[in-house]
Structure 1
């Protein structure tokens, strides 16, 4: 990518009955944000006009037929549909899910064609997006199918990074889903992301136990003894800075997370409850391990406040900045990998 060219940042607008359009438009209502990237929303001129009028958001935008025509210094809207969807703020409707999928699919296609550089996804409702040709529990699973790589749900801030061994599965299925192979894959994906996306040369990773107190030496379940401990020891002996399993109930309360570059939690709530408690409003959901960069805010559709114009755009703005940083870090990593002596020359000339 030409260093003088702005990053084209695609935005799928999510559920039109939620706060997705609101937080996206509020983010770029601040014209200074246009100095960092060129935003491209996948929706329609009429939809965005209706949303900004209803919400009282004063922004102007440029309508385009495809993302390749986006103009720098403008909010761009790709016209994915011509009709005007009915909006029912605060309600989970079939219509809301239908257009959330349309926006997402169009944005992902543009990403695959390199018409946009990164993707930020506004929140969807996991129930109303289900259709005959779309049966995914969330963004992460869909993107894993569409983009190359091994996906990892990675919640990040500047100070805290939490990944998940298992994400959108029922708690009753967690123990059976966690295998030696899965742990190896997720640790490898996390370590590579920490190096490539966050510039950490030798990442230090903590794994949280599956059972309470990491099984208490087999007293409370055998998964930690039979699955987690042997593979952690194997990875450590191979030179990876991987430690655990740690008892999840005390790990964050005792500030154990501050000693590591990232934490790998066994299941969704084990990782996301402490993450959102410590970082809500600043957190970003990043899908690591894929060929393209995708981020999202750390909140959902927020139906309870949708349409009222009071949604806080802080997390969406953080998702924008995170996507830009990660994209730049990847480019720098790729350049240094191609030419490892470049870094040394830069240091000598500094």
Structure 2
């Protein structure tokens, strides 16, 4: 079990040749953040000292061998390996990918054992992490296996929240993946997350169409009429405020998205292009639907600027703050659910 009163934020270090180390350093150089959380970086003190020297950081690390040694008010580094690491910024390297997985696996184990409260993942390279022992497209699929629940990529930034029916699926396969069962499951996950993680009692959810102009009455494909519309109608009849499908090309430009608590896109680029256009550098990738809280920044390894000291840490910092806020909201929800008398008492005071 965790040893500090603050929320313990576990951090997987990601691809060491990318910008992960830099944005982690920059995030925790401001000591005020330590008033709210106790961070623990899953890496090695040698690697973090290298980053500290390279980026001329004044941050002080507390090196530990086990999580029982966590110290509140310090940036803790749990040593997940002892061997030296050759860091070459901007280079794709399978050896570096193996260290990223060591960090992720150790952090996930700690999360499952409740030695940490939340997990924030620095960016990985989806190619160099692949091995006989690790065959996942990325963080989300791995965590879906390790943690209970139905995972969903949920991009969040202030009041803008975008979920996906399909995420890392080739464009040619999108329509065949979208079934009534998938639609019902994803909407249920988004709805539950809005209630539990964001404290929205009666969420309004918009769903974007599969085809251009939602198929134009079958002229540009019949999936919207045959699959999406009837499923949304069924869900709406069940009591959820779900609307659509909406034509994706005009939905964001018309500011219609501001009328909803969440938007569900049919596929990756349909949702993430407008999301990142509206919030890039501030957005957070939250894996909704799991038994534990995991967030990450809305960008990748950024090899092209790695090691130059120019990376923007704001998205990673927002990921840390979002993880803490969601953890608090979820904890309060679970407490009230477990104690309905307490909930009734609160309602009477309002």
CA contact (8 A) 1:296 1:316 kept: yes
Q: Give 1:299 deviation, angstroms.
A: 0.7
> Counterpart in 1 of 2:28?
28
Structure 2 residue 284 is matched with structure 1 residue 298: no
5 Å-filtered alignment, 1:131-170, equals 131-170=131-170
Q: Give 1:346 deviation, angstroms.
A: 3.1
Q: Give 1:347 deviation, angstroms.
A: 4.7
Structure 2 residue 218 is matched with structure 1 residue 218: yes
> Counterpart in 2 of 1:246?
246
CA contact (8 A) 1:287 1:295 kept: yes
**Unpaired segments ≥5 residues, structure 2:** none
**Unpaired segments ≥5 residues, structure 1:** none
> Counterpart in 2 of 1:284?
284
> Counterpart in 2 of 1:61?
61
5 Å-filtered alignment, 1:85-234, equals 85-234=85-234
Structure 2 residue 308 is matched with structure 1 residue 308: yes
CA contact (8 A) 1:283 1:298 kept: yes
* Separation in structure 2 between the aligned mates of residue 304 and residue 333 of structure 1, nearest angstrom: 42
DSSP 3-state at the match of 1:10: strand
Q: Give 1:341 deviation, angstroms.
A: 2.8
* Separation in structure 2 between the aligned mates of residue 293 and residue 41 of structure 1, nearest angstrom: 16
TM-score (normalised: structure 2): 0.98
Structure 2 residue 308 is matched with structure 1 residue 320: no
Q: Give 1:340 deviation, angstroms.
A: 2.2
* Separation in structure 2 between the aligned mates of residue 96 and residue 212 of structure 1, nearest angstrom: 41
DSSP 3-state at the match of 1:258: helix
CA offset digits 1:95-119 (Å, max 9, x no partner): 2211111110010001011110000
* Separation in structure 1 between the aligned mates of residue 210 and residue 252 of structure 2, nearest angstrom: 15
Structure 2 residue 256 is matched with structure 1 residue 256: yes
* Separation in structure 2 between the aligned mates of residue 81 and residue 316 of structure 1, nearest angstrom: 24
* Separation in structure 2 between the aligned mates of residue 232 and residue 56 of structure 1, nearest angstrom: 54
- How many residues align structurally? 349
> Counterpart in 2 of 1:340?
340
CA contact (8 A) 1:86 1:95 kept: no
CA contact (8 A) 1:42 1:79 kept: yes
TM-score (normalised: structure 1): 0.98
* Separation in structure 2 between the aligned mates of residue 94 and residue 123 of structure 1, nearest angstrom: 15
> Counterpart in 2 of 1:41?
41
CA offset digits 1:249-290 (Å, max 9, x no partner): 000000111010000000000000000000011100000000
Query: CA RMSD for the aligned pairs?
Result: 1.3
* Separation in structure 1 between the aligned mates of residue 247 and residue 348 of structure 2, nearest angstrom: 45
Q: Give 1:348 deviation, angstroms.
A: 4.2
CA contact (8 A) 1:7 1:38 kept: yes
* Separation in structure 2 between the aligned mates of residue 248 and residue 69 of structure 1, nearest angstrom: 50
CA offset digits 1:271-315 (Å, max 9, x no partner): 000000000111000000000000000010011110011111100
Q: Give 1:21 deviation, angstroms.
A: 1.1
* Separation in structure 1 between the aligned mates of residue 347 and residue 239 of structure 2, nearest angstrom: 27
- Name whichever of 122-131 and 336-345 sits farther off: 336-345
